[in-house]
Amino acid sequence: MAHGRLHNKVAFITGGGSGIGEATALRFAEEGAHVVVCGRRLEPLAQVVARIEAAGGQARAMQVDVSDEAALTSAIEKTATELGGLDILVNNAMAYSWGTIDATSTADWHSNFATSVDGTFWGTRAAMKRMKSKGGSIINVSSICGLLGTHSMAGYSAAKAAIINFSRAAAAEGASNGIRVNVVIPAVVETPATAGMLSDAGARQNTEKLIPMGRVGQPRELANAILFLASDESSYVTGAALPVDGGRSAVLTTAL
């Protein structure tokens, strides 16, 4: 673990208590990073930290609501101060509302942006200030909903689309200081957020029919892509938006 791809790197991961965030934290720790996971609920974060420490890694948990500007900024500042810097930020936390446009209140519409877009902006801003002296890598997590329209998820789709283009602008600004900003774009991944849908055999089968590889993604598969973008192996990659979706976004239809 001491000589991994992220040896001696400090990584801050939002939404780190489950799903893609959890898998990324575990993967980063395996590669030698000192990982800080943040989220609204402390218990799942503590469990992630315990798993990392049991395997010989370094981690800590910070209870933070990513939609709270002051709390998120303070957590990133504290991490950088106490751990001697910040090398990697993963903006993974998200929240969404469900419903048709005509039934969506303004408050519900805004709720899609508070965590996903505002949180990504606040986190990126804080990280870029800390990374100016020695560079770093920021990875933002979007969604296939940010590429393709999704019925009853207009707010979430708009927010995830915003993340993709915000990241391009951030990449343009950060490049001169050695700060790389990239995006991963998952489709359906087997996480607690999708468990309800995927537990229905019919719904799962219909979902998998739309994916050329014929199956939903696993959190670790997303974590591996995020690891690549966090590591020096992607040293000439910035402003990229990488689909990690089994081919879903590449096709109009799949073979029957």
Does 3.40.50.720 match the CATH number of domain 10-190+219-234? yes
Q: Which residues pair with 208 in a beta bridge?
A: none
What pLDDT score does 195 carry? 62
N residues, the chain? 256
Task: For 115-128, write each residue's pLDDT tens digit.
Answer: 999 999 999 999 99
pLDDT at residue 255 in the model = 64
Nearest alpha carbon to residue 160 among 198, 186, 181, 135: 186
Residue 67: count of CB within 10 angstroms of its CB: 18
pLDDT single digits (tens) 196-248: 777 788 888 888 889 999 999 999 999 999 999 999 999 999 999 999 999 99
Catalytic residue selected from 156, 171, 183, 238 = 156
What DSSP line would sit under 45-67, residue for residue? HHHHHHHHHHTT-EEEEEE--TT
Identify the segments of the chain with pLDDT beneath 70: 1-2, 194-195, 255-256
Active site residue 156: yes
- Residue 110: burial class (beta carbons within 10 Å; 0-12, 13-18, 19+): middle
Question: Domain coordinates of the chain in residue numbers?
Answer: 10-190+219-234
Q: What is the pTM of this model?
A: 0.95
pLDDT at position 256: 62
